[in-house]
Amino acid sequence: MLFSDIITLRTATVTYDSYGAPIETFSGTDVFANKKSITRSEFYAANANGIDLKLEFEVHAEDYTGQMDIVHETKQYIVVRTYQKGLGVVTLVCSDKKVN
């Protein structure tokens, strides 16, 4: 495994302005990852439930602390599912993030 792609794992923090409107800010950590395609069976199973999976990223387990927001090459993704694969590798299954 090369871990040659760089992704940003982001954590959201919500604060409120003086009018009570939420303001979402992110703090991010760049980590090395392997970018992989979604398998055909997983894609169609998710699509049947209204989820449009796009990519998987494998990261070192010590780098991942539960973040649900990822940026890769200026594109934003949300983590739909995670699972540990082998010793010390976590797979993050991702869908497009809808930006308002």
The per-residue pLDDT for range 42-98, each reduced to its tens digit, is 898 888 888 889 999 999 999 999 999 999 999 999 999 999 977 799 999 999 877
Tell me the pTM: 0.85
Distance spanning both ends of the chain, measured CA to CA: 36
Q: What distance in Å separates the CA atoms of residue 30 and residue 52, rounded to the nearest whole number?
A: 25
Residue 73 CB coordination number (10 Å)? 8
d(CA 97, CA 85): 24
Class of domain 5-96: mainly beta
Distance between CA atoms of 59 and 31, rounded to whole angstroms? Answer: 8
